[in-house]
């Protein structure tokens, strides 16, 4: 009796079940959190009071615990909870029900003791930390205006793709382009409208390139696309498709805009650095601008 009194006062949920899942003991913690008194719980089968329980799974855990005289564990990060206990919190929570770590252990020859630990605060903290880490990752890798990769993230991927191209002799092409006469847009319509043009072009390109292509804002009105497993002639086709898509689009207030493109392929059979790779594409871009703009210039 003294032992049960001690269990009754513990700051965790504690119940005793027989092998048929009938409740033999129900402590004060469970009374408070479930709003089920001892009189309402004892003598009832747990799945009858909590229909969300998968009866056969719990019965198997109880039988195994009794047969092997060993404990089993239910992890809140996997199973969430054994029984639905609405959270009694004044502040809001990301969970509707208490997240529970649960231990099922033999208690004598005929019963098991089930201990429920409220794991909600720790899971909430873990989830908040995860969300914060994801937020920092986005801030570190995504251009806030256009929502495409920033230059830092692009360079990280470029370095990996260059190494892969050299190691496995994989084709790797690059497209660099910028908006023709973009300064006039800012000077005429203001920077807010200029920002809308940048966002519009980024969205047009995102909807044109493959999911395996790496698209980033290189700086200002300049963008860059890395095309793994792509020969130069195919990259030129992609650049021409993007050029035409942008040329035909009507931007609010501004009307039509054009872009100039430089395209090249990585020399994976040499000791070429990725800076040399980009500089060659950049040279073709300036050739496109110097020869009339709104065109694609390419070369090896």
Long-range Cβ contacts of 8-13 (<8 Å, 24+ apart): 12/115, 12/116, 12/117, 12/118, 13/85, 13/100, 13/114, 13/115, 13/116, 13/117
221 annotated active-site: yes
CATH T-level fold of 2-124 = Beta-Lactamase (3.30.450)
- In Å, the largest CA–CA distance within the chain is 95
Q: What is the mean pLDDT of residues 217-235?
A: 97
**Helix, strand or coil, per DSSP, at residue 46:** helix
The per-residue pLDDT for 4 is 84
pLDDT classification of 87: cutoffs 50, 70, 90? confident
The CA-based dihedral angle spanning residues 216, 222, 228, 229, taken in that order and rounded to the nearest 10 degrees: 150
Do the Cβ atoms of 68 and 47 come closer than 8 Å? Answer: no
Residue 93 has pLDDT above 90, yes or no: no
Q: What is the CATH number of domain 142-298?
A: 3.30.70.270
Q: Where does the chain hold its CATH 3.30.70.270 domain(s)?
A: 142-298
The per-residue pLDDT for 76 is 80
Q: Where does the chain hold its CATH 3.30.450.20 domain(s)?
A: 2-124
Helix 274-290 with 151-168: angle, nearest 10 deg:
110
For strand 72-74 and strand 100-107, is the pairing parallel, antiparallel, or unpaired? antiparallel
The per-residue pLDDT for 79 is 78
pTM assigned to the model: 0.65
The per-residue pLDDT for 91 is 63
Catalytic residue among 221, 247, 248, 253: 221
The per-residue pLDDT for 62 is 95
Span 29-75, pLDDT tens digits: 999 999 999 999 999 999 999 999 999 999 999 999 999 999 999 98
Span 178-218, pLDDT tens digits: 999 999 999 999 999 999 999 999 999 999 999 999 999 99
């Amino acid at each position: 009796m003294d032992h049960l009194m001690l269990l009754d006062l513990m700051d965790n949920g504690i119940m005793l079940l027989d092998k048929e899942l009938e409740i033999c003991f129900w402590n004060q913690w469970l009374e408070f959190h479930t709003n089920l008194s001892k009189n309402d719980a004892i003598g009832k089968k747990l799945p009858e009071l909590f229909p969300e329980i998968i009866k056969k799974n719990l019965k198997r855990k109880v039988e195994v615990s009794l047969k092997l005289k060993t404990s089993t564990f239910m992890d809140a990060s996997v199973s969430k909870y054994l029984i639905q206990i609405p959270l009694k919190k004044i502040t809001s929570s990301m969970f509707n029900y208490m997240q529970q770590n649960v231990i099922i252990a033999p208690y004598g020859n005929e019963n098991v003791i089930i201990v429920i630990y409220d794991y909600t605060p720790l899971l909430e903290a873990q989830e908040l930390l995860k969300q914060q880490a994801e937020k920092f990752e986005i801030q570190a890798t995504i251009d806030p205006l256009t929502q495409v990769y920033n230059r830092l993230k692009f360079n990280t991927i470029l370095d990996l793709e260059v190494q892969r191209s050299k190691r496995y002799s994989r084709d790797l092409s690059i497209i660099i382009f910028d908006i023709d006469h973009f300064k006039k847009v800012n000077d005429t319509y203001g920077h807010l409208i200029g920002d809308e043009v940048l966002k519009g072009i980024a969205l047009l390109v995102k909807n044109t390139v493959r999911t395996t292509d790496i698209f980033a804002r290189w700086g200002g009105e300049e963008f860059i696309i890395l095309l793994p497993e792509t020969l130069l002639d195919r990259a030129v086709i992609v650049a021409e498709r993007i050029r035409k898509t942008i040329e035909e689009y009507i931007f609010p207030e501004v009307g039509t805009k054009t872009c100039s493109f430089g395209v090249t392929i990585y020399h994976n059979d040499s000791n070429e650095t990725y800076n040399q790779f980009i500089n060659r594409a950049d040279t073709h871009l300036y050739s496109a601008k110097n020869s009339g703009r709104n065109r694609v210039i390419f070369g090896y």
